[in-house]
Amino acid sequence: MKFVIIGGDAAGMSAASKAKRNDDKLEVTVLEATTDVSYSACGMPYNVADAGRVMDDLVVRRAEVFREKQGIDLKLGYVARAIDRGRKKVIGVMAGKDPFEVQYDKLLIATGARPVTLDIPGADLPGVHVLKTLYDGRGIKDYLVSKKVKTVLIVGTGYIGLEMAEAFHARGINVVMVDILSRLLPWLPQEMAGVVEKELGDKGVEVHLGVKLKSLEQYGSGLRVFLEDKEFLVDMVLMATGIVPNSELAADAGLKIGPKNSIAVDKSLHTSDDDIFAAGDCADAFHVVTGNRVWIPLALRANRAGWAVADNVTGRDVKLEGIVGSAVFKVLDIEVARTGLSSSEAAEAGFDPVEALIKSRSRAHAHPGNQTIHVNLIADKKTGKLLGGCIIGKEGAALRIDSLAVALHAGMTTEQFFQCDMAYAPPFSPVWDPLLTAANQLLKNL
């Protein structure tokens, strides 16, 4: 049987490797448009932060290993252009010119996502970068050095924008951030977003919210930035204005499309064609809390979905229940973590959300190194069931969110969560873990 995979990063290479482990007789072909496979995209900001490291440190497994050790037919520079479902063929061009056709029995679309940039004058000037692929990352690192970048404008204040603010700051570069949003991280309660904003300010990152970038112009070796009511000069611009799924191949082939133009898949990762799967940043997922389809492209789901596809292709029957949207990032010295629904997402999904917002400590009251930690917990008024939450602080926010994620998967009520026997020792938490303190407050509010 021929298993063909379009896309050679997290989902694609996870699927290829696992399929071969499951069944070494399977013919596995991967068509990758670029020359990079299997790298830690999420590690790019931390790599950019460190002038002493090269981007290729982020490669998890090299192409030769996939080919020689694992027997995967990995084709680099193969750009898929169409899927002919009738003849079960992927059609495209290789090395930028030569056409190819590859026959499949089972196909996985793992084409990922791509950055969207603002459609403004100057968006295509040489100093304007995006960060999605290793190629982008190399470009940014080279540019920082070759142009002796001293000031960067980051457009967008999402995960990537904030992680890159930390990266540039670590290299001693002045960072200016702009966003059309009138406040930072709108899914965080105002007070918690304020902590992040203060951290950026304290470290000298300039943040302009509720402003519109009008255009960019070349100016010497740098760029002149025009907002609605002001202009300034920078050496480089990073557009961190979001991503969209690479779902055109699937849509053109008539496959069912899900939220935000992602490719719709069932719990076994089948698209609307039984012989075609989709996984990774191009595909949707079920949200465990709402049961609805969502598009929340993150690394764990991509890897997990890749494995599940491999299992299903090799005759196992694996179903993924879905995701709860757990995410975490670090911005300067602050950890920001979320899982489940925000209050407004909960209301939209038909719940009656009740919130608690507490401030506690990361360690016991008299323990040195103690940091403030903020926890926001959300439950449904009618059932008491937990719906989501977020945690921020200088330590202990990132790992704590997983306890809440597990509770969401288990469908726990606030009372059940409050009764959980969490571990305590002075270096790690107060006797009542901040999550329990938040649950206790939420019980009062419910």
The catalytic site residues sit at: 42
CB 44 within 8 A of CB 58: yes
The mark string for 188-217 relative to a copy of itself (x by CB under 8 A, - otherwise) is: ------------------------------
Residues in contact with 281: Cβ distance below 8 Å, sequence separation at least 6, in sequence order: 11, 112, 113, 243, 245, 246, 297, 302
Q: Is 286 in the site for a copy of itself (CB under 8 A)?
A: no
Q: Is 86 in the site for a copy of itself (CB under 8 A)?
A: no
Phi, psi of 209 (to 5 degrees): -105, 155
Q: How far apart are CA 375 and CA 436, in angstroms?
A: 10
Q: What single letter denotes the amino acid at residue 286? A: F
The binder of a copy of itself chosen from 11, 435, 439, 442 (CB under 8 A): 435
The binder of a copy of itself chosen from 3, 66, 78, 329 (CB under 8 A): 329
- Minimal CA–CA distance to 33: which of 115, 100, 97, 95? 95
The binder of a copy of itself chosen from 20, 88, 301, 374 (CB under 8 A): 301
The binder of a copy of itself chosen from 24, 35, 50, 191 (CB under 8 A): 50
Cβ 234 to a copy of itself shortest distance, Å = 27
* DSSP 8-state class, residue 419: T
**Length of the chain measured in residues:** 446
Q: How far apart are CA 334 and CA 330, in angstroms?
A: 6
Q: How far apart are CA 314 and CA 178, in angstroms?
A: 48
The binder of a copy of itself chosen from 229, 230, 421, 444 (CB under 8 A): 421
- Closest to a copy of itself by CB, 172 vs 220, is 172
**Looking at the DSSP assignment, which residues form a beta bridge with residue 94?**
78, 98
Q: Is 317 in the site for a copy of itself (CB under 8 A)?
A: no
Q: Is 366 in the site for a copy of itself (CB under 8 A)?
A: yes
Q: Is 32 in the site for a copy of itself (CB under 8 A)?
A: no
CB 258 within 8 A of CB 278: no
The binder of a copy of itself chosen from 376, 429, 437, 441 (CB under 8 A): 429
- Closest to a copy of itself by CB, 70 vs 403, is 403
CB 373 within 8 A of CB 359: yes
The piece of 19-27, 185-193, 239-247, 402-410 that touches a copy of itself (CB under 8 A) is: 402-410
The mark string for 56-85 relative to a copy of itself (x by CB under 8 A, - otherwise) is: -xx-x-------------------------
Q: How far apart are CA 373 and CA 401, in angstroms?
A: 12
- Closest to a copy of itself by CB, 314 vs 339, is 339
